[in-house]
Each structure stands twice: as structure tokens, then as C-alpha cells.
Amino acid sequence: MCNLYSNTTSQELARKVFDRISDRAGNVQPGEVYPDQLGAIIRHDGDGFELVKARWGMPSPKFALKTERDPGVTNVRNLSSGHWRRWLGKEHRCLVPLTSFAEPRGKGKGNQWFAHSDDKPMFFAGIEVRDWTSVRKVKEGETTDDLYAFLTCEPNAEVKAVHPKAMPVILTEQEEWDSWMGGRSAAELQRPLPDGTLKLIEQPV
């Protein structure tokens, strides 16, 4: 499962790719994004879109919580779960810009990074919820946050060689971005990139 990615995409790219987008993210620092950190997402805003920062990790299912603390769920696979179905509609869709992502090689072996072999713009197929109140960290206590996560699917050949269980759902074409944000069935877009689409790199880009 993907628990680390890099986004060095400029905010100008989001404005070029999407009409009617408002930039409300402030200064988005390029670099690596870890779970429970703030990341840039594109989400619905009335008849248009907005670029904002949100906290990576959607609310966990209640059965998975052993204490009041909810660290969040970064990757979503089971679309038939009632817990996730409520957030699969158009109004909760978002796109998460990235330039590379990592999968663990194994204990003590570090991470393998992946980037698009043709350097195309990439977005995770994400879901988001706003103003969610929970205890993310004990030292913070109860907080109210905008949260996001993204879908995963079967891995393609490049990812499978490193991480055979799953890879993020990555969208690289305008038609896919429009379909995802337009509410097309999540199951139809929950698919891996074609084999040969990704290149293996040693450092994030």
C-alpha cells in the first residue's frame, strides 16, 4: 500500500488542467507527503473546483479502532464496504496531484520509487470529507479537519515486482480526470496503469 508520495507539481499546472478552479491552498511546498500530513487536493467547489490542502487519512471504520485515537486510512480498496460507499459519490471525489510514489522493498531495504515513464501529469483517484472531528493524535486532542485518501487496485507489472498486493489508482488523461470528478462509477476506474507506464527510480521526483 502506498504510504509515501512526492508532489513537485506547480500550482500553475492545476490551473492549466482545470477550468474554473480557485487556488485556496496557499503556499504548497514541493516534496514528500506522509500519512497524516497536509497534501494538496483538487475538489468540488460549487460549479467549479478548488485547490486546497487537506490531511491525508480518511476516517477509519469503527471496528478497526481499539482506542479513541483514529490515525486515519490512507488507501481505500473495498468499494463494497458501507463505510466507504457513503463517500464514493461525486460530491466527495477529489484528485491528488503527484509526481512519484513509493512502495516498500521489504524490511530494511528502503523504498522503491515510481514515476511516469513519459512524465505525464498524474493524479490519484481520491475521496475527501470536510470538517471531520476526531482524535488524530493524543497530544493534539480532538481536532476538526478536511481529510482525504485514494483508491488502490491490482498492481501493474512494474509495481507487482516490488509490491504484489496493490498499487494506487492513478489517472493520467483529461478524460479520466473529468470522468472521476464527474461521478463515473468508482469500480470502472479502479484499475492499474498499463504495464510499461511506470519507470523505477531511486529518488523521488
Q: Tens of pLDDT along 119-156?
A: 999 999 999 999 999 999 999 999 999 999 999 999 99
Q: Are strands 100-104 and 170-171 parallel, antiparallel or unpaired?
A: unpaired
CA nearest neighbour of 128 among 21, 49, 11 = 49
Which pLDDT score is estimated for 141?
95
Question: What was the pLDDT predicted at 19?
Answer: 80
SS (H, E, C) the chain: CCCCEEECCCHHHHHHHCCCEEECCCCCCCEEECCCCEEEEEEEECCEEEEEEEEECECCCHHHCCCCECCCECEECCCCCHHHHCCCCHHHEEEEEECEEEEECCCCCCEEEEEECCCCCEEEEEEEEEEEEEEEECCCEEEEEEEEEEEEECCCHHHHCCCCCCEECEECCHHHHHHHHHCCCHHHHCCCCCCCCEEEECCCC
In this structure, the number of other CB atoms found within 10 A of the CB of residue 42 comes to: 24
Over the stretch 76-102, which tens digit does the pLDDT of each residue have? 999 999 999 999 999 999 999 999 999
